[in-house]
Structure 1
Amino acid sequence: MKVLVVHNRYRSEQPSGENNVVDAEVTLLDEGGHQVSLFERRSDDIAAMPLPRKAAVPLMVPWNPAVRKELAARLRASRPDVVHIHNTFPLLSPSVV
């Protein structure tokens, strides 16, 4: 089975049990013989963004059309059997659902 795991990783300064769950899920699915791929964003990347892009992050939290388009292209290309969405805040947004 082809599985796409979608997740926005929490900041590394704030360790997250959810990040651990995602990592464990990917490992278990892979060990179970499934083809697993990730569609991720990392909250740590916000700090390195240019100021205008960083200022726009709160505006993209409710709906991020660029990420929605990117995920749609990924879905068309990889055709997963299952998409498992974890955290969408703040860089993915509910648009991925």
Structure 2
Amino acid sequence: MHILVVHNRYSSAQPSGENKVVDQEVGLLRAAGHRVEVFERRSDEIGALSLPGKAAVPLLVPWNPAVRRELAARLRTERPDVVHIHNV
């Protein structure tokens, strides 16, 4: 089975149980013979944004046109059987 896992990785400065669960899940699925791809963003990327960019983050969390286009393109290219979304 071809699975696409979608996840926003929490800050590397703070340990995250969810990050660990996603990593373990991907590893277990691959070990079981599934083809697993990951579509991921990282909260660490926020630090590199300009001040206006940082101010826009709360508005872009529920609807980010750029990431939507990237994910749509990935779905068209990869054509996964299952999309597992952990968080946005």
Q: Judge same fold: TM > 0.5, yes or no.
A: yes
Q: What is the root-mean-square deviation in Å for CA atoms of aligned residues? A: 1.0
- For residue 29 of structure 1, what is the aligned residue in structure 2? 29
Q: How many residues align?
A: 88
Unaligned ranges ≥5, structure 1:
89-97
For residues 73 and 2 of structure 2, the distance between their equivalents in structure 1, rounded to whole angstroms, comes to 16
Instruction: Determine what percentage of the aligned residue pairs are the same residue.
Output: 74
Q: What amino acid sits opposite 2:79 in the alignment?
A: R
Structure 1 stretches of 4+ moved >6 Å = none
Deviation at 1:72, TM superposition (A): 0.7
CA positional deviation for 1:74: 0.4
1:6 aligns with 2:6: yes
- 1:36 offset after TM fit, Å? 0.6
The answer to whether 1:15 aligns with 2:15 is: yes
Determine which structure has greater relative contact order: mean sequence separation of CA pairs < 8 Å that are 6+ residues apart, divided by chain length. Answer: 2
Q: Taking structure 1 as the reference length, what is the TM-score of the superposition?
A: 0.85
Q: How far is the alpha carbon of 1:51 from its aligned partner?
A: 2.5
TM-score by length of 2: 0.93
Per-residue deviation, 1:25: 0.5
